[in-house]
Amino acid sequence: MKPAPFEYRRPATVAGALADLAAAEGARVLAGGQSLVPLLNLRLATPPVVVDINRVEGLDAVVEREGRVHIGATARQSAVLASELVRSRLPLVAAALARVAHPQVRARGTVVGNLCHHDPASEMPAVAVALDAEFTVVAPDGSAATSPPPTSSSAPSPSPSRPAAWSPASRSRSPRQAPAPASTRSPARPRTSR
């Protein structure tokens, strides 16, 4: 299927992205597209405007600030999985990401996009809740606040109401005594004979 017609915008700054989102009722953010694009193609989401944030510099960062790990809105799942900071400070995130989809999806999908989509079949929302994650939410006027991740949902939200704000980052505390995972590799699959 093909998506319904929409206007495509590609800002280069957070301020530009916020302006584009505020200007259009029902506008949607595109980061990795692993959740949004299928919804567009099936016409379960029909936004008038899609705002691609991939050119916004710095949103792909994975850094530590004030004792918390910050994961930017365009940080790819594969980059977060490979991050030594994440592997050492948030081993549960690394273990969960190793089991998200397959390498091709992780190469394009974003951690924050996965969390914003809050699909109940995904591992990441439960991980975010377990680690006391917070979203940094930026309003159209540029003011920022923190917000917890959604804790439950019966289904992905294909057409949410107009966003009052946008989440350009997620941050998590390191658990006090989080055991390192025994392995971050997927379990072996049984072989079948032909």
Residue 165: both structure tokens together: 């704000």
- Print pLDDT tens along the chain (194 aa): 799 999 999 999 999 999 999 999 999 999 999 989 999 999 999 999 999 999 999 999 999 998 899 999 999 999 999 999 999 999 999 999 999 888 999 999 999 988 888 777 788 988 998 998 988 888 888 888 888 876 655 445 543 433 434 455 566 655 543 333 333 333 333 334 44
Within 8 A by CB and 6+ apart from 9, the residues are 20, 49, 50, 51, 52
| Residues 14 and 138 sit within 8 Å (Cβ to Cβ) | yes
pTM of the predicted model as reported, rounded to 2 decimal places: 0.77
Q: What sign results for the dihedral spanned by CA atoms 133, 136, 139, 143? A: positive
Domains in the chain, start-ordered, CATH in brackets? Answer: 7-173 (3.30.465.10)
